[in-house]
A and B are shown apart, each in its own frame.
Chain A
Amino acid sequence: MLSFRHRGILPGFGLSLGISLLFVSLVLLLPISGLVIQLSDMSWSQFWWVITDPRVVASYRVTLVSALIASLINGLLGLLLAWVLVRYDFYGRRLLDGLVDLPFALPTAVAGIALSALWASNGWYGPVLDQLGIKVAYTPLGIIVAMAFTSLPFVVRSVQPVLEDLPAEDEEAAASLGASDLHIFATVILPAIWPAWLTGMALSFTRSLGEFGAIIFIAGNMPFVSEITSLMIFIRLQEFDYAAASAIAAVVLLASLLLLLAINLWQNRYLKRLQGRS
């Protein structure tokens, strides 16, 4: 229950809450409502028909699989990066720390162009990989690269503070009990950063599901092969089929919400244990 009567020393609870709620409504809830309103033009069967169109279904698969692989790659590299940033003091550490946020700061279209220039057959990496028989640009691999690039900071920034807060004594105690370095990492460090790590990967995953700008430049956008779901929405919009666009968007939205919910529930249960709120 909201209790307006119980005020602290600082005034302005009503005003600040009101403005916050208004903002959240305008920026988050209203667009979602708009989406649902658009959907109301369709019947259930039309809706079902739009979202199960084979080309759209293929895009789900491409998007999900790519996002999953990208977030796993980020899980590993992000953890390594966070580890390096927290555990070692080296020349240029702060610069590296700042660079981690670059994918957030960079317009995703810029990232997309840069990536496709690098990985294309006439770029820097492209020719080398071509000789090995690997094509990245304009294939699903390109999608993974773009997704991994744009969502890397999530894992680093989730894990980093937890790793920083981890008391050195925990590891020292484990070592004194006879644990090897690897054993300490697996039994002491990993369980402590696990929730943050998973959150970071989940955020990276959901972000990858929705990424558009960086991907379309490098993906090649071949139907059934390298078309992502966001692109399907875009195509429907260009056809002025707003209802169909909304229908596909609703599927993406639902998937993201379910994922966030699942992660939160799981994390809550795990944190309860650590914080003793059983």
Chain B
Amino acid sequence: MSIRLSNISKTFGQFQALQPINLELPKGQFTALLGPSGSGKTTLLRIIAGLEHADQGQIFLDQQDVTRQPIKDRQVGLVFQNYALFRHMTVADNIAFGLKLRKLAKAEIHKQVMALLEMVQLPHLAKRYPAQLSGGQKQRVALARALAINPRVLLLDEPFGALDEQVRQELRRSLRQLHDQLGFTSVFVTHDQQEALELSDQVVLMSHGRIEQQGSPKELFERPQSRFAFEFLGHNNLFQGQLQHQRLVQGQAWLQLNATSSATSEQGTVLLRPHELSLANQASEQAHLPMQITAINLVGPQVQIELEPQGWQSDKPWQVGISHQQFHQWQPERGQLCFAVPHLAHFFASHDSPPQSLRFEQLSKSSQLVDERQLAYNSLT
């Protein structure tokens, strides 16, 4: 079922939890509401569910106006971070709760409960009580209970928040599988950008009660449209400086800008993402960003290198990811000096202005990293 929100707003006392919001979630899609705490994502989910009432605006489920419909008639499935299983009921009774209210025959209920348990791979636990289950199992039961009523929409509020990493991965996978198999429309709230980008078809990024950006995970990751979006979607390396002759300068460091970006202001900030940078023993012609390696993290598909600016300042250390192969050739060590070489950078004239992307030409082979003689030289000094 498609969900349409039109001009939904909500205040709690003085606090504007949601600015007027318009949002359309197509049928059968898996949508993530992503944002930091206090961004209004949970409030929005609760309004869709019918647990909160919007001050203004309308909600449509499949063209039907449900704004005034109480939750019990909305036929939405809910899954909570703390599972919210009925502790005094067995797993089977929990799942049967909604079915019993629909006045089905006993045998039919039993059949459906077993089918649902099969679906979440827990048929052997039907007779257990929630307290006897692990966190992951509880959330599977909660999922089965929500799906039992054949919901028009499945709403999940931080569903993996209380689980440890491995269980979380597993449950994510099976949730996505169930979604693809059954084709229900679902919306889930998360503050974890990785989770949102990995699991969903569409991400709605929220901050301060507004929708900051909306799009597929690919769009969102490749083209963040604001400083907030950049900062929320992974690590950023920050370079702040004064504009001088189409260069952004700070101390001994500088970065070449192009004509359009430098026209309007005297100061600026550039964000550089770890995967849009490389490291070299020489500065490039477009950027001079001297660095010292302070930490090397080998765990993971990429080698994460942490760097401290040399002769200029940055609030946080920089991070650059290089491939293991590159690492093996280059063999950098802690304390070594090098230069950050950007391929892509994102210029902000002020905090609220939209980003302008700067593309730097790929460096010629000779200057790019790893020159054996230089390595030898470096290790001597």
A177 part of interface (Cβ distance < 8 Å): yes
B71 touches A175 (CB 8 A): yes
Residue of A nearest to B88 (CB): A191
Residue from the list A169, A179, A187, A192 in contact with B82, Cβ < 8 A: A169
**Chain B hits for A192, CB < 8 A:** 87-88
With A178-B101, A179-B101, A183-B101 already in contact, the answer to whether A173 and B132 are too (CB < 8 A) is: no
**Chain A hits for B71, CB < 8 A:** 172, 175-176
B132 touches A278 (CB 8 A): yes
A176 touches B88 (CB 8 A): no
Of A68-76, A99-107, A236-244, A268-276, the one contacting chain B is: A268-276
**Is the interface on chain B under 10, 10 to 19, 20 to 34, or 35 or more residues?**
20 to 34
A178: min CB distance to chain B, Å = 5
B158: min CB distance to chain A, Å = 11
B129 touches A276 (CB 8 A): yes
Residue of B nearest to A177 (CB): B98
Segment 126-151 of B: residues with Cβ below 8 Å from A: 129-132, 142, 145-146, 148-149
A188 touches B129 (CB 8 A): no
Complex formed: what's the CA distance from A174 to B70 in Å? 13
Residue from the list B82, B89, B97 in contact with A177, Cβ < 8 A: B97
**Chain A hits for B160, CB < 8 A:** none
B243: min CB distance to chain A, Å = 52
A167 touches B82 (CB 8 A): yes
**Chain A hits for B87, CB < 8 A:** 192, 274
Q: Which of B74, B87, B132 has the most chain A CB within a 10 Å cutoff?
A: B87
Complex formed: what's the CA distance from A172 to B80 in Å? 10
**Chain B hits for A164, CB < 8 A:** none
A180 part of interface (Cβ distance < 8 Å): yes
Segment 77-103 of B: residues with Cβ below 8 Å from A: 77-78, 80, 82, 84, 86-89, 97-98, 101-102
B132 touches A174 (CB 8 A): no
A170 part of interface (Cβ distance < 8 Å): yes
Complex formed: what's the CA distance from A23 to B348 in Å? 74
Interface size on A, residues (CB 8 A): 22
**Chain A hits for B142, CB < 8 A:** 173
B129 touches A278 (CB 8 A): yes
**Chain B hits for A278, CB < 8 A:** 129, 132
A176 touches B77 (CB 8 A): yes
B49 part of interface (Cβ distance < 8 Å): yes
**Chain A hits for B78, CB < 8 A:** 172-173, 176
Residue interface bits A164-206, CB-to-B below 8 A is 1, else 0: 0001011011111111100100011001100000000000000
A177: min CB distance to chain B, Å = 4
Complex formed: what's the CA distance from A59 to B50 in Å? 57
B371: min CB distance to chain A, Å = 59
Complex formed: what's the CA distance from A172 to B50 in Å? 10
**Chain A hits for B50, CB < 8 A:** 176
B84 touches A177 (CB 8 A): no
A176 touches B72 (CB 8 A): yes
A174 touches B131 (CB 8 A): no
Complex formed: what's the CA distance from A183 to B86 in Å? 13
With A183-B101, A278-B132 already in contact, the answer to whether A174 and B75 are too (CB < 8 A) is: no
A105: min CB distance to chain B, Å = 35
A63: min CB distance to chain B, Å = 34
Complex formed: what's the CA distance from A178 to B146 in Å? 11
**Chain B hits for A178, CB < 8 A:** 72-73, 75, 98, 101-102, 149
Residue of B nearest to A274 (CB): B87
Residue of A nearest to B80 (CB): A169
A274 touches B88 (CB 8 A): yes
B76 part of interface (Cβ distance < 8 Å): yes
B138: min CB distance to chain A, Å = 11
B347: min CB distance to chain A, Å = 45
**Chain B hits for A273, CB < 8 A:** 88, 129, 131
**Chain A hits for B102, CB < 8 A:** 178
B375 part of interface (Cβ distance < 8 Å): no
**Chain B hits for A169, CB < 8 A:** 80, 82, 84
Residue from the list B70, B80, B130 in contact with A173, Cβ < 8 A: B80
**Chain B hits for A176, CB < 8 A:** 49-50, 71-72, 74, 76-78, 146
Q: Which of B51, B70, B130, B145 has the most chain A CB within a 10 Å cutoff?
A: B51
A167 touches B72 (CB 8 A): no
B129 touches A274 (CB 8 A): yes
Residue interface bits A241-278, CB-to-B below 8 A is 1, else 0: 00000000000000000000000000000000111101
Residue of A nearest to B75 (CB): A178
Complex formed: what's the CA distance from A173 to B74 in Å? 12
A181: min CB distance to chain B, Å = 9
Complex formed: what's the CA distance from A220 to B361 in Å? 104
Complex formed: what's the CA distance from A179 to B96 in Å? 12
Complex formed: what's the CA distance from A170 to B97 in Å? 12
B93: min CB distance to chain A, Å = 10
Residue from the list B51, B74, B132, B148 in contact with A172, Cβ < 8 A: B51
**Chain A hits for B145, CB < 8 A:** 173, 177
A167: min CB distance to chain B, Å = 6
B86 touches A188 (CB 8 A): yes
With A176-B71, A178-B101 already in contact, the answer to whether A274 and B84 are too (CB < 8 A) is: no
Q: Which of A169, A187, A275 has the most chain B CB within a 10 Å cutoff?
A: A169
Residue of A nearest to B81 (CB): A169
B231: min CB distance to chain A, Å = 31
**Chain A hits for B77, CB < 8 A:** 176
Residue of A nearest to B130 (CB): A276
A183: min CB distance to chain B, Å = 7
Nearest 5 A-B pairs (CB), nearest first? A276-B131, A177-B98, A169-B84, A191-B88, A176-B78
Can you give 7 A-B contacts (C-beta < 8 A)?
A169-B84, A173-B86, A175-B70, A179-B97, A191-B89, A192-B88, A274-B129
Write the residues of chain A forming the contact surface with B, with a CB cutoff of 8 angstroms: 167, 169-170, 172-180, 183, 187-188, 191-192, 273-276, 278
9 additional A-B pairs beyond A167-B84, A176-B76, beta carbons within 8 Å, are A170-B84, A173-B145, A176-B49, A176-B78, A177-B101, A183-B101, A192-B87, A192-B88, A278-B132
